[in-house]
Amino acid sequence: MTRGYSKSWKGLAAALGTCVMLSACGTSEASEPQEKLPVEQTASAAPSDEITNGAEKDAMITPDNFMDTLMKGSKEDIYKQMSPELQEIISLDEFKTTTASFMEGVASWEKVTEFKMNNLVESSWKDQTGTKGIQASFAENHQIAGLLIQPLETHEATDKALTKTAYQFPMKGEWFVFWGGNDVLSNYHYAHETQRYALDIIRTQDASSYQGEGKDNEDYYAFGEPLYAAANGKVVEVKNDIPDNTPGVMNAEEPAGNVVVIDHGNGEFSITAHLKKGSVAVKKGDNVQQGDLIGQLGNSGNSSEAHLHFQVSDGPDIFTSRSVQIRWADQSQKLTRGNSFQGLPE
């Protein structure tokens, strides 16, 4: 997220995102998506004495009463619980003005996701028309560590245009969808045609993506997990020499990091990004079968935490081709934000 903002409610979408989660597949251009996953949440959600010691219980804003308070209660109470980083971005008066404008015409809100990850509880809501969305992240002490308020649009034609090939998820075991779905609340990629249907997948245990302090790649449950070809095809691009990042430090010069691109025919190319340095098990020109080992999951490129970025595009270049909605062979898998699902059998 950027720290600049316009003085309208539309600017709030870019302004109030201090709980930056995991930046991964963006380019250096502002027009391209900047991936956000959970590695930096804990640091963003540092305890605030004002919240933990000074707030009255009856004024405490929680995920359960946040929307009622925003609609009918005290916006000042909400603002008081925002992290210092958020308060630096926007003043109380600006927050009141922009949210009041955004809420015009809204009769009701429906909660669409809620999950806990790395010491934050994240909730999101859509209004009754499905054209406005709000996402809020709460630390364990109820401090509001992140807030996203923005309009929602859909791309119905491409949402319904599935790949001709049926793909299998390219990893074994149980996984968690951090970004995935057909709106920007569920999938920040959705705003960008080149990565609209991309997925960011992490492995979790006990609502955390890492063990210990999370300072080393090996602390992350996803790091080093084997990756497999999602369908039959021919390898058309390989990169294998990009160093893995220290968690929280990103390499914007090589956004995709180590990558394997496979041509599956029908104008469809799977792009598997952020592989572990030196782990790629195929070379350009290889023919692969569905389920063949292609490498290991890593933390290379514009990524701050080990995770899988996977998409199918209508060309081999992740930044110039158009992302395509994936037809999954296993229709029971729900690869949308906040869901855990079973990949390939172990």
49 has pLDDT over 70: no
Using CA atoms, how far apart are residues 318 and 270, in angstroms rounded to an integer? 9
53 has pLDDT over 60: no
Question: 273 CB contacts (<8 Å, ≥6 apart)?
Answer: 24, 25, 256, 257, 258, 259, 301, 309, 310, 318
45 has pLDDT over 70: no
> Could you tell me the end-to-end alpha-carbon distance of the chain, in angstroms, rounded to an integer?
37
Please give, one letter per residue, the 3-state secondary structure of 127-167. Answer: ECCCCEEEEEEEECCCCEEEEEEEECCCCHHHHCCEEEEEE
Cβ atoms within 10 Å of 99's Cβ, excluding its own: 20
Tell me what pLDDT residue 35 has. 52
Using CA atoms, how far apart are residues 127 and 188, in angstroms rounded to an integer? 18
225 has pLDDT over 50: yes
Using CA atoms, how far apart are residues 233 and 264, in angstroms rounded to an integer? 4
Using CA atoms, how far apart are residues 194 and 257, in angstroms rounded to an integer? 17
- What's the pLDDT tens digit per position in 231-279? 999 999 999 999 999 999 999 999 999 999 999 999 999 999 999 999 9
Tell me what pLDDT residue 322 has. 98
- What's the pLDDT tens digit per position in 149-168? 989 999 999 999 999 999 99
Q: Where is pLDDT greater, at 37 or 229?
A: 229
Output phi, psi for 266, to 5 deg: 60, 25
118 has pLDDT over 80: yes
Amino acid at 141: N
Tell me what pLDDT residue 140 has. 87
